[in-house]
Amino acid sequence: MSFIKSPLQKAESAIAQADAVLIGAGAGLSTAAGINYGGPDFEKAFADMIARYGFTDLYTSSFYPFRSEEEKWAYWSRHIDYARFAPEGKPLYKHLLEMIQGKDYFVITTNVDGQFVKAGFDPDKVFEVQGDYGLMQCATACHPKRYNNESLVKQMVAEQKDCRIPSSLVPRCPVCGGPMEINVRKDRYFVEDDRWHQQAERYYAFLEKSLGKGKLALIEYGVGFNTPTIIRFPFERMAAKYSDVTLIRINKDYRDCQTPGIKHFIGLKTI
């Protein structure tokens, strides 16, 4: 029997003692949860497109310059269905929710796969900064609106042949008539609608009422260096500035801190 706590036990007691919990999640969380952008699952689901286009994984394939809207949406509908609609709420996300049960919480994530809400997190407490595969928008952002794409995506998946959807299913912007895009931030045309801004305000309101006003646990899961200015660096700054903030960093590869002066830090490979 030992009285020395393991890092996981330290993290659990920091969460138990916290007045509030802020979760920040990146791609590494969904990978750890089992949504595989490469490997056998991907190879099985995309065999025809791998043969045709030479795709190696679902991340690099999303940059492929398709020659027509019919080909583009054949691919994207499959990508969205595979990563966003088909997976159930994953056990790892549910486990995270159990860990913070009864706590005042908020989630900020760069993930676009809708897993937090599927696992039972309150949609009003989840800020999906970089968009959502389940939404689409005008490709040139001519108007600030996002549209649900689930039924259209399912239809595109069902009716595509030879890596093309029927031309009648190609979505067009209801305002300018131009092409549509997935609502995922990749250029200056990313649409932030009323709902996006509402969630951004809720995130800042949560920080306002939690920082320096009691114990706050930050759980950062699977955030690397693709977009570190959204979650990783701000979380480090909060932990360095406020002595009652504990930063729990869960990361397979990058557990080091760049910011000096953090009093309470716990690094974990997994939970």
Nearer to Zn ion, 191 or 239 (CB): 191
Q: Which of residues 62-121 bind Zn ion (CB under 5 A)?
A: none
Nearest distance in Å: CB 238, Zn ion:
38
Could you tell me if residue 258 is left (phi over 0), alpha (psi between -120 and 50 degrees) or otherwise beta?
alpha
What's the rounded Cα separation, in Å, for the pair 259 and 270?
22
Residues 106, 116: contact at Cβ < 8 Å? no
Q: From the centroid of its chain, how far is CA 145? A: 20
Nearer to Zn ion, 181 or 244 (CB): 181
Nearer to Zn ion, 142 or 163 (CB): 142
What's the rounded Cα separation, in Å, for the pair 82 and 11?
33
How many amino acids of this chain bind Zn ion (CB under 5 A)? 6
Nearer to Zn ion, 176 or 205 (CB): 176
Output the DSSP codes for 98-167.
Answer: HHTTTSEEEEEE---S-HHHHTT--GGGEEETTEEEEEEEETT-SSS--EE-HHHHHHHHHH-BTTB--G
Q: Which of residues 123-182 bind Zn ion (CB under 5 A)?
A: 138, 142, 173, 175-176, 178
Nearest distance in Å: CB 183, Zn ion:
13
Nearer to Zn ion, 163 or 184 (CB): 184
What's the rounded Cα separation, in Å, for the pair 189 and 198?
19
Binding mask 177-206 for Zn ion (x = CB under 5 A): -x----------------------------
Task: Tell me: does residue 231 bind Zn ion (CB under 5 A).
Answer: no
Nearest distance in Å: CB 176, Zn ion:
3
* Cβ neighbours of 93 (radius 10 Å): 25
Tell me which residues touch Zn ion (CB under 5 A): 138, 142, 173, 175-176, 178
